[in-house]
């Protein structure tokens, strides 16, 4: 019987490489051989805490179909037409329940709001229930995260056919690109403002030059905003933003006080940005960012959910700030297959948009995962890709 390996998170900075029989696809499912999987910022949070039970990791992945059920095309939703053995696919990592009030209101597939949302390669609420999708590697079909040699694709998953000439590591970028894309979609939607959210006259500010911030900057530049400003506290990340997104202004906020940070951005954006995307994943960036948006502008909170776990002292009067700015302020947690499709379409332009330069670290052995994820805080790190050697 053929076997394969998958990585399992067992504790804080503790992983195990487990080997299991490679499953055959049920009538309504598929099995893919992983060709690329990327480390996400959320993986950097998962690895720091002790899970309630071990789980497979990795939700940004792409691979080739090696087993497909006879009815898989009825139950798996594919952008690009029917699937067959040998096709390469990128995967939407969420399966929503389709039955909770949020799903009934917003439709199946809308992640972040479903009451019973399953995600490949993350902690699952049903780890010990073999009758529903879960990420417990001990329960069949074992392979449930991108950091492994295989992934079992459950019914009701959304997937995309990968063009023959697109590298799998580019296709695996669909998730982070979709997060940035969703933030920009939200900013484009007129609601309470006096004009379209993003135009060729827009002064846009991106806070945080991590992967999401740089991707958002790349998209905004591609859309032709008039001025693009990005801030961070690490010079190497700002240099990467200049290289990949041709930002007009890159401001290093290191060593500045809160008021100095705000003043520097206000001056650079000629009185405040029309659109602010907060991608820094730190509560202080939210407090500052709300003071950097122009009156009647748009502020999108992209980066906070995983880090603002405690209450912090707020140094401004938020009701006064919100009232006086008259800005549209939104938090991003929900996303959709439609936005992922927009992201995938943009990834198809990888020959003209340098997405591949977002991947700064690569490894081909699961045993190197832990050493690689520990490099996340280092200078020059943006995204890491597991690209297995396939024999």
CA distances from residue 290 to 180, 225, 259, 274 in whole angstroms, order as listed: 19, 20, 12, 12
Mean pLDDT for 215-235 is 97
Q: Render pLDDT for 102-120 as a digit per residue (tens, 0 to 9).
A: 999 999 999 999 999 999 9
Q: Which of 177-191, 289-303, 343-357 has the highest mean pLDDT?
A: 343-357
pLDDT higher than 60, residue 194: no
3-162+354-386 in CATH: which number? 3.90.180.10
Give the SS3 label for residue 273: strand
If you write DSSP's letter for every residue of 2-59 in order, what string do you get?
-EEEEEEEEETTEEEEEEEEPPPPPTT-EEEEEEEEEE-HHHHHHTTS--SS-EE---
Higher pLDDT, 301 or 281: 301
H or E segment to which residue 300 belongs: strand 293-301
Rounded Cα gap, residues 11 and 128, in angstroms: 17
For residues 219 and 183, what is the distance between their CA atoms, to the nearest angstrom?
11
User: The CATH number of 176-331 is which of 2.60.120.330, 3.40.50.720, 2.40.160.10, 3.50.50.60?
Assistant: 3.40.50.720
Confidence of residue 257 (pLDDT cuts 50, 70, 90): very high
Model pLDDT, residue 283: 81
> Looking at the predicted structure, is the pLDDT value of residue 198 above 70?
yes
Q: What is the mean pLDDT of residues 141-165?
A: 98
Rounded distance between C-alpha atoms, residue 77 and residue 99, angstroms: 18
Summary mean pLDDT of the chain: 93
257 Cβ neighbours under 8 A, 6+ residues apart: none
What number is the average pLDDT over the span 187-209? 79
Q: Domain spans of the chain?
A: 3-162+354-386, 176-331
How far, in whole angstroms, is CA 290 from its chain's centroid? Answer: 23
pLDDT in tens, 296-353: 899 999 966 554 445 556 677 778 877 788 888 899 999 999 999 999 999 999 999 9
């Amino acid at each position: 019987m053929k076997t394969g390996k998958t990585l399992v998170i067992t504790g804080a900075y503790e992983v195990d490489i487990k080997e299991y029989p490679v499953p055959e696809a049920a009538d309504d499912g598929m099995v893919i051989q992983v060709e690329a999987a990327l480390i996400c910022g959320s993986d950097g949070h998962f690895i720091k805490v002790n899970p309630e039970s071990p789980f497979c990791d990795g939700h940004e992945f792409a691979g080739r179909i090696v087993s497909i059920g006879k009815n898989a095309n009825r139950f798996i939703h594919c952008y690009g037409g029917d699937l067959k053995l040998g096709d390469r696919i990128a995967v939407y990592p969420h399966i929503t329940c389709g039955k909770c009030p949020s799903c009934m209101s917003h439709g199946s597939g809308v992640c972040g709001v479903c009451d019973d949302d399953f995600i490949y390669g993350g902690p699952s609420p049903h780890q010990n229930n073999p009758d529903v999708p879960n990420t417990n590697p001990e329960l069949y079909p074992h392979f449930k995260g991108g950091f492994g040699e295989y992934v079992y694709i459950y019914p009701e998953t959304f997937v995309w056919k990968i063009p023959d000439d697109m590298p799998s590591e580019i296709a695996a970028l669909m998730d982070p690109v979709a997060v940035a894309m969703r933030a920009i979609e939200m900013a484009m939607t007129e609601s309470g403002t006096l004009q379209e959210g993003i135009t060729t006259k827009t002064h846009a500010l991106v806070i945080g030059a991590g992967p999401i911030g740089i991707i958002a900057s790349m998209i905004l530049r591609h859309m032709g905003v008039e001025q693009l400003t990005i801030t961070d506290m690490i010079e190497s990340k700002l240099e990467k933003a200049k290289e990949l997104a041709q930002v007009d202004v890159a401001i290093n906020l290191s060593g500045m006080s809160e008021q100095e940070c705000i003043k520097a951005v206000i001056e650079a954006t000629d009185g405040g940005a029309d659109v602010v995307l907060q991608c820094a994943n730190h509560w202080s960036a939210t407090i500052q960012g709300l003071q950097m948006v122009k009156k009647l502008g748009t502020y999108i909170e992209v980066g906070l959910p995983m880090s603002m776990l405690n209450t912090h002292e707020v140094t401004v009067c938020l009701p006064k700030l919100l009232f006086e700015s008259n800005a549209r302020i939104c938090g991003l947690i929900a996303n959709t297959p439609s936005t992922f499709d927009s992201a995938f379409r943009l990834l198809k332009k990888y020959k003209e948009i340098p997405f591949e330069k977002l991947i700064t670290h690569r490894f081909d052995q699961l045993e190197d995962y832990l050493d690689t994820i520990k490099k996340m805080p280092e200078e020059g790190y943006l995204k890491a890709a597991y690209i297995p050697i396939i024999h």
